[in-house]
């Protein structure tokens, strides 16, 4: 399927987004960092707060990036905006209202994979962009869909199973879309999307995790 836009067009959208909204894109990384801290350390009410912050990131990516900027390239941007807003609503329902998204500390391979994906989204992703030669403002900052999706997969790997599989649906859809775009547009840092999706699919158990979680995991 041929795209109606090219790499230079997407880079121009990144530049317009960053120039119009800076320093908000940088602040989104801080929001993500707070999410990670809440997921990893025993703080009262941390699960619902982390879920609310994650939902806000998806709402931002949908309404601000997809609707206001990416839709300039393709009408599909409006559909993607709707999907990202729907993901934000799902996270609010599951994690904030129902309290079914619970984070916990463990020393297994799933936890390590989650930390690595989070590190990639927040640190390695912008570093790779810089090494490739994309400099600010013409670079995908955190809060645009691909690094956000990788970050979300990492955060879900830090959550205690089981939780509603509906949370995976839209990130998986974007993992497929984003991987296709990465290959067509040669945005190499986004190729980690498919790796992140595969890790979540293979490492998240269907049944409950062992009851070795601290009492604060349900706070």
Q: Is the pTM of this model over 0.85?
A: yes
DSSP letters for 78-146: HHHHHHHHHHHHHHIIIIIIS----B----SHHHHHHHHHHHIIIIIHHHHHHHHT--TTSS--BTBHH
- Give the model's confidence band at 182: pLDDT under 50 very low, under 70 low, under 90 confident, else very high: very high
Longest dimension (CA), the chain: 53
Task: List the chain domain ranges.
Answer: 7-209
List, for residues 90-115, the tens digit of each pLDDT value. Answer: 999 999 999 999 988 777 888 899 99
List, for residues 51-101, the tens digit of each pLDDT value. Answer: 999 999 999 999 999 999 999 999 999 999 999 999 999 999 999 999 999
- Per-residue pLDDT, averaged over 177-197, amounts to 93
**pLDDT score recorded for residue 209:** 67
Q: Is the pLDDT of residue 178 over 50?
A: yes
């Amino acid at each position: 399927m041929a795209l109606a836009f090219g790499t230079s067009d997407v880079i121009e959208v990144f530049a317009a987004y960053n120039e119009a909204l800076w320093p908000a894109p940088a602040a989104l990384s801080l929001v993500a960092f707070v999410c990670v801290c809440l997921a990893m350390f025993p703080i009262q009410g941390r699960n619902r707060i982390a879920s609310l912050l994650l939902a806000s990131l998806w709402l931002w990516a949908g309404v601000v990036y997809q609707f206001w900027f990416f839709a300039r390239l393709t009408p599909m941007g409006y559909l993607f905006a709707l999907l990202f807003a729907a993901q934000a609503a799902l996270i609010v329902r599951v994690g904030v209202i129902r309290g079914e998204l619970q984070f916990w500390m463990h020393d297994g391979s799933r936890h390590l994979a989650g930390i690595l994906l989070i590190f990639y989204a927040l640190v390695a992703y912008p570093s790779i962009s810089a090494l490739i030669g994309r400099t600010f403002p013409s670079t995908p900052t955190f809060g645009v869909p691909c690094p956000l999706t990788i970050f979300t997969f990492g955060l879900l790997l830090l959550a205690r199973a089981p939780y509603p599989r509906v949370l995976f649906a839209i990130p998986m859809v974007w993992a497929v879309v984003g991987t296709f775009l990465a290959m067509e547009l040669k945005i190499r840092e986004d190729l980690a999307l498919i790796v992140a999706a595969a890790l979540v699919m293979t490492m998240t158990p269907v049944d409950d995790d062992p009851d070795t979680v601290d009492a604060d995991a349900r706070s």
